[in-house]
Amino acid sequence: MIGTDQSPAHRPFGARVKAFVALTKPRIIELLLITTVPVMFLAQQGVPDLSLVLLTCVGGYMSAGGANALNMYIDRDIDALMDRTSQRPLVTGMVSPRECLAFGITLAVASTLLFGLTVNWLSAWLSLGALLFYVVVYTMILKRRTSQNIVWGGIAGCLPVLIGWSSVTNSMSWAPVILFLVMFFWTPPHYWPLSMKVKEDYARVGVPMLPVVASNKVVAKQIVIYSWVMVAVSLLLQPLGYTGWFYTAVALLAGGFWLWEAHGLQNRAKAEVTGAKLKEMRLFHWSITYVSLLFVAVAVDPFLR
């Protein structure tokens, strides 16, 4: 039964703490912080104030964690029916829906105040905007209605780039906008391979992820298109004067390997390969490595110019 409360005796303190941490989806937040901190180095053109980095990371974790908790509260009905989400805290009853809702709202309010009072209010509003976009626009409006859900809903995951820049400068510039666009075009080809792997889960609960409503060939073609645009956009930082040779070299090499994997997936899809031989998760795993390498290069590049 969805969200069935366990008695206190069956909800030990340690397990409860782990459950509340799980509500924040730490592995996803790690990726968001990987795109936040390096941009702070780029904005500073060196090492930013470390206390500012810490406050930005704590605020970012709280904000994203609040968004993820609220996402689980809203999606608890379908989470109970999907294999990949069947052990989430609301499904197992380790956390009640009321507790989850209160936890998510508390994190949202606390993170906004933390950003506003210790970093700056531009970062606070961007952080709150990302949270509201993820919860309201993606989770409540787009996710169950359109196969373009992850395309536009992914905007929430792009905003940490802007937050990293604004936390240092209290302003905006073309550099974070370009990196925002890199993440925007990265998100669909990052998530669609995973959706291909678990499309039966999404189909079972009526969530129209692109692989549910389109063939593997169509999905792979879209992945290739987004991948080419992503790599092209990633190369704009150098001619605009924001980065030097190191970032450009990493962007070219990592982007080139990405395109190799994307076209490989497309070729297998065209050949109507299915099952394990489709190897769609190779691109998913590489996408995480790619964004990590790219943003490490963003952080290192100012020291090599």
pLDDT, position 280: 95
Contact 258, 224 (CB under 8 A): no
pLDDT, position 30: 87
Residue 283 has pLDDT above 50, yes or no: yes
Residue 11 has pLDDT above 90, yes or no: no
Average confidence (pLDDT) over 77-89: 93
Average confidence (pLDDT) over 165-191: 97
Each as own residue / partner, the long-range contacts of residues 162-165 (CB below 8 Å, 24 or more positions apart, any chain) are: 162/126, 163/36, 163/56, 163/60, 163/123, 163/126, 163/127, 163/130, 164/35, 164/36, 164/37, 164/38, 164/39, 164/40, 164/43, 164/56, 165/39, 165/40, 165/42, 165/43
Tell me which fold the domain 173-304 belongs to: Four Helix Bundle (Hemerythrin (Met), subunit A) (1.20.120)
The Cα–Cα gap between 209 and 284 comes to 16
Tell me which fold the domain 21-166 belongs to: Tetracycline Repressor; domain 2 (1.10.357)
Contact 165, 43 (CB under 8 A): yes
Contact 163, 130 (CB under 8 A): yes
Query: Where does the pLDDT of residue 28 fall: very low under 50, low under 70, confident under 90, or very high at 90 and above?
Result: confident
The Cα–Cα gap between 56 and 218 comes to 40
pLDDT, position 9: 47
Give residue for tokens 């499309």: 199
pLDDT, position 185: 98
The one-letter code for the residue type at 75 is D
Query: Where does the pLDDT of residue 10 fall: very low under 50, low under 70, confident under 90, or very high at 90 and above?
Result: low
Question: For residue range 29-53, what is the model confidence (pLDDT) as tens digits?
Answer: 888 899 999 999 999 999 999 999 9
Report how far apart the first and last C-alpha atoms of the chain are (Å, whole number). Answer: 58
Query: What percent of the chain is modeled with pLDDT above 70?
Result: 97
Interaxial angle between packed helices 155-169 and 121-132, expressed in degrees from 0 to 180 and rounded to the nearest 10: 170
Query: Where does the pLDDT of residue 6 fall: very low under 50, low under 70, confident under 90, or very high at 90 and above?
Result: low
Residue 7 has pLDDT above 80, yes or no: no
pLDDT, position 305: 83
pLDDT, position 70: 98
Residue intervals of the chain classified under CATH 1.20.120 are 173-304
Which whole-number Å values give the CA distances from 38 to 96, 180, 249, 256, in the listed order?
A: 37, 13, 17, 22
Residue intervals of the chain classified under CATH 1.10.357.140 are 21-166
Query: Where does the pLDDT of residue 222 fall: very low under 50, low under 70, confident under 90, or very high at 90 and above?
Result: very high
Residue 8 has pLDDT above 70, yes or no: no
Residue 3 has pLDDT above 50, yes or no: no
Mean of pLDDT over the chain:
94
The whole model's pTM is what? Answer: 0.93
Residue 105 has pLDDT above 60, yes or no: yes
Query: What percent of the chain is modeled with pLDDT above 90?
Result: 91
